Amino acid sequence: MRSCDILILGAGVNGLACATRLAKAGRSVLVLEAAATPGGGAGEVEFHPGFRAPALAHLTQGLDPRVARALPVAFHPALTTALQGGITVKGGAASVDAAAWSALHARLSRFAQALAPFRQMPPPIPGAGNAWSRLVRPLLGLRGLGQAELRELMRLILINVHDVGEDELSSDALRGLLSFDATLGAWLGPRSPNSLILYLDRLARGADPLLPVGGMGALAQSLAKGAEAAGVTLRCNARVARVVVADGRARGVVLDSGEEIAAKTVVSALNPRTTFHQLIGARHLDAGFHRRIGHIRMRGGAAKAHLALSGLPALADPKARLVIAPSSTAVENAFNPVKYGQVPDRPVMEVLLPSAHDSGMAPAGAHVLSAIVQSAPHAPRDPVAARAAMLENSLAVLEENIPGLRSLILHAEILMPQDIEARFGLIGGNWHHGELAVEQMLFNRPLHGADRYATPVPGLWLAGAGAHPGGGINGAAGWNAAEALLEAKG
Amino acid sequence: MSAQTHFKTPLRPSPFHPRTAPLNRLNRWGPWAGQLNALCFGDVDMEYTAIRNAASVYDLCAMVKYRVTGREAAEYLNRLTLRDAGKLAVGGVHYTAWCDDAGKLLDDGTLFRHGPQDYLICCQERHLPWLLDSAQGFDVAVREVTEEIAALSLQGPCSASVLAAAGFDVWGLKPFRMAEFAFQGGSLTISRTGFTGDLGYELWLTPDLALPFWDHLMQAGAPWGIRPIGSDALDLARIEAGFIITNMDFIPAHQALREDRPRSPLEMGLGWMIDWDKGQFTGRAALAAEQARGSDWALVGLDIPGNVSAEGSILYHDKKHEVGMITAAAWSPALKASVALAQVQARHAGGANLWVEIYALRELQYVKLMLPVQVVPRPFFNPPRKRATPPARV
Amino acid sequence: MTYDAVIVGAGHNGLVTACYLARAGMKVCVVEKNDWIGGAAVSRELYPGFTYSNCSYVSSLFRPEIMRDLELHKYGLQILPYEGGAVFTQDGGYLGMFRDHDANRREFARHSARDAEAYDVYARDILRFCRFIRPMLMRTPPDPTRLRPRDLSELLWLGKQMGGLSEAMRAQMVRFWTMSISDFLDEYFENPVIKGYLAVSAIIGTALGPMSPGSAYVLLHHYMGDVDGNVGAWGFARGGMGSITRALTESLRTSGGEVRVGQGVEQILVQNGRAVGVVLANGDEVRGRRVISNMDVKRTFLKHVPEAELPGDFVKRIKAFKIRGSSGKLNIALDAAPVFPALPEGAPNLRGDLHFTDSVERMERAYDDWKAGHFSADPFQDCMIPTMIDPTMTPPGKHFMSCFVQYAPPKIEGRDWTDADRDAFRDACLNQIEAYSPGFKDRVLHVETRTPRELEAEVGLTEGNIFQGELTFDQLLFNRPVPGYAQYRSPIKDLWMCGSSTHPGGGVMGAPGRNAAAEVLREARLPSPMRDAYAVL
């Protein structure tokens, strides 16, 4: 039987970040990945002969700074966001309602910066026993906002993003963008309380969307190469069947092939529910904990569309990120039917033309369009009909905004949340391995009792997006987990 | 989902109600687990006397019962409860308990093994959501069967003789074992179990046989003075036997409003149950931590001077500091002593300089007593006839 | 003459403030625009012989400490607990609620054996949250950004409250405060009817749906009251909700206070940065050393105070204050008791709240209609027939039925309500009842239909919002009504707030009125006639 020091399950961004940090600390690390290539949600797929698309995520707000230092990745310059009517937005600059947007962006960015340090540490404990020394800096950062801004932060922290748009902006297009970006990847509409904080979290990761040079597949490869350079052993096509628990402690894994690998510590960057319900199993857990794992909400509301195009679509700026969300109400209306397992008539979406940045994505002259479409039902009554309706409704909206697009389509596919679950192990198709929602943040992420990367099973740690502070092609969760593990000498 | 009329009789009458109702001369009833239950049939002293002297019958139908069946029934119960259900032989019964994740008691009860993959849990409180949640990940079926089983508790030194007279030979039945008998085309299960600390049996059958069986048993027992008893008399007997009752001697964790109220099995003197060798069970980590750190509370049996019941009294250390509370107390007719069960802060469990303050109401005036108490082993009353097999023929 | 305090609005909170100040020896005058007293806690004869609780219709939140301090029993106040409740299902069945624990468990078990028992754990958990929040109701929120000694001591008190909980409970509570009631109920229950029934309290009065995060807190807001110690229970005020304000008025008059009806406040007089009185609609001036507004903050500061007297930031925040009309009301005089064939003969369920939305989804869809600017086609109704318990409100054998309806937007697709809209709204509600009670419409003698338009025009609640402001975290505790002004004081010296726009918010609770009075008296250095709030054991 093989054995190693630390075994990491899942070679997504968090698994690789965690592995790298541990390897740099001199630990021997083996990463097991079920797929043929590393990357997880950051991979690339040939969805039509000669046409390659980002498999799931097609942009990032940037890697966690600690991860970025350890695993350098080259990015194209930050993307401009294009809205309908020729409106463009980049950071604090908008071509309409400019003063209001810039003031709002500046204020929210200040809040995001004040909150950002909390992303780079285990969540504070809701009680005594905190490492207070570690909390001094972030708390002083909050205090440093000053009385007026601190009050405003406390008012806004759980507010809904729709109201903020109504109160602070006058352009429907900008309101739509704000609402869209806040609810991207979440399972709620902009009128839902607790939606603005998701926008703050996005800003804390980075102000503008970034595209890796060479595409998302290149990012995955850079991370994997960097990890290997740091001493990590990476093994793909190795699906874990279960975690071996003996005498109340995780002691290794058994692969689908039957091969056993022993380890001193097992770190799962997989979905927390998969980890506990499938790999560990009820008989090694307390019943209440097992039940609460089942209560972690993992509803994905986003679908992913890939179009193979015979030529360049009619885009004002082919290199921009196009957001089709004409108003905050449009975003809300696109979410409404999803609550009942139905498909929206007019979805909202984020459209990218990766082939405009990296020519290798499509044959010469041809193009690839990648779109994240919201909202899609995670458990429709008829999955096949829902997928067809979602694709048709998405294409209709795209055609309206990009006239002539349909005539260029050689091949079109849409991944519904259930498809995303099947391909990437993201339960419910939720990108964050558990909805990123206030009630599932900090010490409630993924759930109280396993919120600081250690779990009730000695020797088993969590390092995936399901853990604090969540996912988003960022790596903070994995890095934090590694630091917590090292601190605990696990 | 048809309309119901249960609101007219919120407390369900027991299958034995047509017989027990006319016998209940004082019409003294109380609620027990949603059922109408006799508190006393007419004379609590005579009912107690029947338990310790002859034969007594107590209606057990309200006892909450869950049937656990399936390939992994034993594994399931091992994860659920503190003891090793796999070690329980078919035809055997054991007293067990189960906890939440924090290692706090949810309930105690008896577990009957009817077959290799067939168990019955009998307990005081309702636990269906917890039992079903605990079943996730196990190949097992859990079903509430409370209303499908009628039960009587036949207790007293003459109980074996009464059963023999009724045609059921239980002379060879050992404590915590059960046996099946035919009765009027149906079947009767007799287990040598009980809640009185005396010789006694519990009798299990389907509700349709309840009335004929009652008549048969009462007729057979008449020469011994068999007598139905209510919970007042039973409570006296169980205190003498030192048994605890959920929601009287501890608050079940899933019902406790105040977070500091639930108690662990270690704190309730049930630490002996915990099978540390069987692997994981719910609450294990918390209980191991408690064992390492030491418990906060302890359950103790007390001997109190005099003959005044100490029910509901507060315990003091050095007559000054509150350190505990009496949860059950009685003057014991068998022992001629005032005995009590109490929760006491663990560091005072030895009983040194421990006092009880009793407020005894005597003709509209409280007589305040501050008495030194002595911690004594339980059960207070533990006659050899409880265990003797075969029991004496009386 | 100059009063010690002029109180604007004779709603329950204004009257509570006035009563306490009068008992402390102040000369107080309450001015009211309507010809009657009571604000939204009124009993009115709108059809001959029938008394309507035509706004608020049930009581639970009204603090018993206030009833005791102000001796309201002397003035006829009595709260009668509900005896049941039911939700009717589309398949012709029902789920009933019973006061008896065992009857209720057996009723729930008819729908789900598991849920019947899960309900006990659910009720325990909700009660735990109530026990945590109840002591906060009658305290002034601290300002966590100022940290003056009082703020610090209140923050420490809050910290101590939290400290009394286990870490797991704190984590669970944070989840509860921020979740949707739909998600929360999913963690306990499997049956859609049971979930539909229990979700009700999370949407009443609020512009949120049961799937909106934060709606679980709204549920708690409706559960933190009690009827005679029975936490979470609701009841009827004997003689209608006006009995509460009538008793308060009697109590006030006994302490020497005055109430002037029929003339509303036109303007709050501000001189040299201080509030010095009010000008009434007829031009009369009522002078006071302080003015205390029971009106919602939008009305107070945007309509009755010169904008120049207020800081710009404050005005901006008040303008952005969320006070959304989401509900309407039908008040119905019935010739005879309605019959609901689903219910068994003699069942007590009609002596409580009746509902027709048998799933969370139907309630959420009703909310989607509201977001789109329509009243709900399949509305949620919270119906009561108080005369099933209280014989004093109608002639014998006749009944008064109160139907609280969600959702009704403040405007229909951005335009004002018309009478035709109102009638269509009424018909949607009546038809829903008729579907479960055939012949119901034939028994109707009279209907008063109140949309947000009527609620705003008559009671003065902006947009018809019954809570004087949404109960979301951005407007709760130290954020209510706006950050920095959560201690009942306004930016203008001697202008105070005592309405439901202030902590702890809406409902016929009286706590804002009492808390405001406590602050006024503390600043005036007068001994308080208040006894301590009940301790939670």
Structure letter (DSSP) for residue C415: B
Structure letter (DSSP) for residue B66: E
Q: What pLDDT sits at residue B32?
A: 95
Contacts of C523 (CB under 8 A, 6+ apart): none
Residue A232 backbone dihedrals phi, psi, to 5 degrees: -75, 140
Q: Could you tell me how many residues make up chain B?
A: 394
* Chains in contact with A via at least 3 Cβ–Cβ pairs below 8 Å: B, C
Residue C34: Cβ within 10 Å count: 17
Q: How far apart are CA B84 and CA B119, in angstroms?
A: 13
φ/ψ region of A40 (left if φ > 0, alpha if ψ in -120 to 50, else beta) reads left
Q: How far apart are CA B326 and CA B356, in angstroms?
A: 9
Residue B34: Cβ within 10 Å count: 21
Nearest to A288 among B101, B137, B280 (CB): B101
- Selected residues 461-500 of chain C with any CB under 8 Å from a CB in chain B: none
Question: What pLDDT, in 10s, does the model give residues A208-227?
Answer: 999 999 999 999 999 999 99
Chain B residues with CB-CB distance to A294 below 8 A: 136
Cα angle vertex A18, ends A258, A157, to 5°? 125
Cβ distance of C106 and B2 shorter than 8 Å: no
Query: Measured in Å, how far apart are chain C's first and last C-alpha atoms?
Result: 47
Nearest to B280 among A248, A277, A291 (CB): A248
- DSSP H stretches of helix in A184-304: 196-205, 216-229, 272-273, 287-295
Structure letter (DSSP) for residue A278: I
Cα angle vertex B148, ends B146, B149, to 5°? 75
Cβ distance of B75 and A288 shorter than 8 Å: no
Q: How far apart are CA A205 and CA A352, in angstroms?
A: 20
State which residue of chain C sits closest to A330, comparing Cα positions: C372
Distance from the Cα of residue A97 to its chain's centroid: 30
At A330, the pLDDT band (50, 70, 90 cuts) reads very high
Cβ distance of C214 and A194 shorter than 8 Å: yes
Cβ distance of C472 and A127 shorter than 8 Å: no
In the numeric block, the tokens 């048969």 are attached to B216
- Asked if A296 contacts A446 with a C-beta cutoff of 8 angstroms, the reply is yes
Question: What pLDDT, in 10s, does the model give residues A174-187?
Answer: 999 999 999 999 99
Q: Which residues make beta-bridge pairs with A351?
A: A322, A371
Nearest chain A CA: its distance from C363 CA (Å):
12
- Selected residues 110-129 of chain B with any CB under 8 Å from a CB in chain C: 126-129
Report residue A355 as tokens.
């082939």
- Asked if C349 contacts C97 with a C-beta cutoff of 8 angstroms, the reply is yes
Residue B2 backbone dihedrals phi, psi, to 5 degrees: -75, 160
Nearest chain B CA: its distance from A418 CA (Å):
23
Nearest chain B CA: its distance from A442 CA (Å):
22
- Per-residue buried b or exposed e for A447-470, using 16+ beta carbons within 10 Å of the residue's own CB: bbbbbbbbbbbbbbbbbbbbbbbb
Q: How far apart are CA C394 and CA C470, in angstroms?
A: 34
Q: Which residues make beta-bridge pairs with A462?
A: A268
Q: How far apart are CA C123 and CA C111, in angstroms?
A: 18
Q: What pLDDT sits at residue A129?
A: 74
Q: How far apart are CA A350 and CA A83, in angstroms?
A: 10
pLDDT at B2 exceeding the cut of 70:
no
Distance from the Cα of residue C419 to its chain's centroid: 26
Question: What pLDDT, in 10s, does the model give residues A252-271?
Answer: 999 999 999 999 999 999 99
Q: What pLDDT sits at residue B3?
A: 52
pLDDT at B353 exceeding the cut of 60:
yes
At B151, the pLDDT band (50, 70, 90 cuts) reads very high
Give the dihedral of Cα atoms C465, C467, C471, C475; nearest 10 deg.
Answer: 90
Chain C residues with CB-CB distance to A179 below 8 A: none
Cβ distance of A284 and B280 shorter than 8 Å: yes
- Asked if A182 contacts A196 with a C-beta cutoff of 8 angstroms, the reply is yes
* Amino acid found at A88: T
Report residue C106 as tokens.
């057996």
The low-confidence residues of chain C, meaning pLDDT below 50, are: none
**Which of C208, C217, C321, C368 is most worth mutating to test chain A (most A CB atoms within 10 A of its CB)?**
C368
State which residue of chain C sits closest to A147, comparing Cα positions: C145
3-state secondary structure of C431: helix
* Chains in contact with B via at least 3 Cβ–Cβ pairs below 8 Å: A, C
Q: Percent of chain A, pLDDT > 90? A: 94
Q: Is C99 on the interface with B (CB under 8 A)?
A: no
Report residue C387 as tokens.
């005369």
3-state secondary structure of A186: coil
Query: Measured in Å, how far apart are chain A's first and last C-alpha atoms?
Result: 22
Q: Of A172, A43, A11, A1, whose CA–CA distance to A97 is shortest?
A: A172
Cβ distance of C106 and B255 shorter than 8 Å: no
Q: What pLDDT sits at residue B1?
A: 42
Nearest chain B CA: its distance from C227 CA (Å):
19
Q: Percent of chain B, pLDDT > 70? A: 99
Nearest to C361 among A157, A160, A340 (CB): A340
Residue B191 backbone dihedrals phi, psi, to 5 degrees: -115, 145
Residue A451 backbone dihedrals phi, psi, to 5 degrees: -95, -10
Q: Of C50, C61, C94, C90, whose CA–CA distance to C401 is shortest?
A: C50
- Asked if B116 contacts B90 with a C-beta cutoff of 8 angstroms, the reply is yes
Q: What pLDDT sits at residue A3?
A: 84
Nearest to B128 among C89, C117, C166 (CB): C117
Cβ distance of B137 and A291 shorter than 8 Å: no
* Chains in contact with C via at least 3 Cβ–Cβ pairs below 8 Å: A, B
Average pLDDT over residues B207-213: 98
Interface of B with A (CB under 8 A): 75, 79-80, 100-101, 130, 133-134, 136-138, 279-280, 282-285
Report residue B295 as tokens.
């418990």
Q: Is A246 on the interface with B (CB under 8 A)?
A: no
In the numeric block, the tokens 């609901």 are attached to C340
Residue A284: Cβ within 10 Å count: 22
Cβ distance of B257 and C128 shorter than 8 Å: yes
Strands C79-81 and B93-99: unpaired
In the numeric block, the tokens 């002539």 are attached to A404
Q: Is C169 on the interface with B (CB under 8 A)?
A: yes
Chain A residues with CB-CB distance to C183 below 8 A: 297, 439
Q: Of B337, B350, B347, whose CA–CA distance to B310 is shortest?
A: B337
Chain C residues with CB-CB distance to A192 below 8 A: 180, 212-214
3-state secondary structure of C53: coil
Nearest chain C CA: its distance from B101 CA (Å):
11
Cβ distance of A448 and C168 shorter than 8 Å: yes
Q: Of B62, B119, B122, B69, whose CA–CA distance to B98 is shortest?
A: B122
Cβ distance of A283 and B138 shorter than 8 Å: yes
Q: How far apart are CA A89 and CA A105, in angstroms?
A: 11
3-state secondary structure of C9: coil
Chain C residues with CB-CB distance to B256 below 8 A: 124
- Asked if A303 contacts A414 with a C-beta cutoff of 8 angstroms, the reply is yes
Q: Of C213, C209, C217, C284, whose CA–CA distance to C31 is shortest?
A: C284
Q: Is the ipTM of this complex over 0.85?
A: yes
Q: How far apart are CA B273 and CA B294, in angstroms?
A: 17
Q: How far apart are CA C139 and CA C154, in angstroms?
A: 9
Give the dihedral of Cα atoms B237, B240, B245, B251; nearest 10 deg.
Answer: 140
- Asked if C193 contacts C87 with a C-beta cutoff of 8 angstroms, the reply is yes
Nearest to C474 among A125, A156, A443 (CB): A156
Q: How far apart are CA C365 and CA A336, in angstroms?
A: 9
Q: What pLDDT sits at residue C177?
A: 94
Nearest chain B CA: its distance from A243 CA (Å):
15
- Render B91-123 in DSSP notation, one character per residue: TBEEEEEEE-TTS-EEEEEEEEEEETTEEEEEE
Residue C265: Cβ within 10 Å count: 25
- When mean pLDDT is compared across A112-121, B5-14, C3-12, the lowest value belongs to B5-14
Query: Measured in Å, how far apart are chain B's first and last C-alpha atoms?
Result: 53
Q: How far apart are CA C461 and CA C225, in angstroms?
A: 23
Chain B residues with CB-CB distance to C111 below 8 A: 1
**Which of B2, B7, B134, B258 is most worth mutating to test chain C (most C CB atoms within 10 A of its CB)?**
B7
Q: How far apart are CA B271 and CA B268, in angstroms?
A: 8
Nearest chain B CA: its distance from A287 CA (Å):
5
Interface of C with A (CB under 8 A): 144-146, 162-163, 167-168, 170-172, 174-175, 178-180, 183, 186-187, 208, 211-214, 313, 320, 322, 361, 364-365, 368, 371-372, 472-474, 478-479, 482-484
Q: What pLDDT sits at residue A7?
A: 98
Q: Of B175, B171, B193, B197, whose CA–CA distance to B390 is shortest?
A: B171
Sign of the alpha-carbon dihedral angle for C272, C273, C275, C281 = positive
At A490, the pLDDT band (50, 70, 90 cuts) reads confident
Cβ distance of A155 and C474 shorter than 8 Å: yes
Q: Is B216 on the interface with C (CB under 8 A)?
A: no
Report residue C198 as tokens.
């229990």
State which residue of chain C sits closest to B127, comparing Cα positions: C117
Q: How far apart are CA B115 and CA B120, in angstroms?
A: 10
Nearest to A332 among C163, C313, C371 (CB): C371
Q: How far apart are CA C23 and CA C37, in angstroms?
A: 20
Report residue B275 as tokens.
């099978």
State which residue of chain B sits closest to C189, comparing Cα positions: B129
Structure letter (DSSP) for residue A139: H
* Amino acid found at A168: E
Average pLDDT, chain A: 96
